Amino acid sequence: MKAKLACLAFLFAVFLAIPNVSAYTLSVRLTINNTVNTVYIPGVGELPSSGISGEYSNPPHFYLASYSGGFLNGLAARNGQNLVTGSGSDSHFIEIEQELNSSRIFLVTTQGDWHAIDNRIPLIEAGRFLSQISPSFAFPLGGLYPVRLLLKYPNIDMAGDLILGKGMHKLVIENKGVSGGKPVVQIRKG
């Protein structure tokens, strides 16, 4: 019995010695090799990248955007601890810090300015961004892309222009004879 208690006490001590993952911070820093960009910080606004320096612990959203000439680099996250910016003589950086546990930070490279990230941040914060069809900062998000099947045969005269919606459909393909030396084929919903 004493051996079991000693074993349990040892296991409990080992359990306490295992570091808690949530006690660690993940920092993702993006260094941009210029000081001519504009940096957007939610809750602060647009600032020149030259001479930028700061730590923002309670922004309304956790993203940073650095852009110039219609080209955007940025970081975006659902949540975080701090947003950090800084610059040197020939570069500047943007950084997001968050707890290591359940961490996820998106690296954004696209055309545009801070609005490209700002338009996606509600989906990121709701945890629905990656469930979108082709999640992207560069292209519009929306419903499914339509699938179009166009049949063109030079030796067959296709009759009709059938349009089908979602779901399963029964099709009837019917030979309607010959016209002008070509077989006439009609496709309709069955």
131-152 pLDDT, tens per residue? Answer: 887 788 877 665 555 556 666 7
Mean of pLDDT values over 144-173:
72
pLDDT at 161: 74
Q: Which of 161, 159, 160 is nearest to 180 (CA)?
A: 159
pLDDT at 4: 45
- Among 42-46, 158-162, 170-174, the range with the most confident prediction by mean pLDDT is 42-46
Query: Three-state SS for 130?
Result: coil
Confidence of residue 35 (pLDDT cuts 50, 70, 90): very high
10 HSE (CA, 13 A, CB side):
6
| Greatest CA separation for the chain | 100
Mean of pLDDT values over 108-134:
91
- What letter would DSSP give residue 20? P
Report the alpha-carbon angle 180-184-188, nearest 5: 155
pTM of the full structure: 0.65
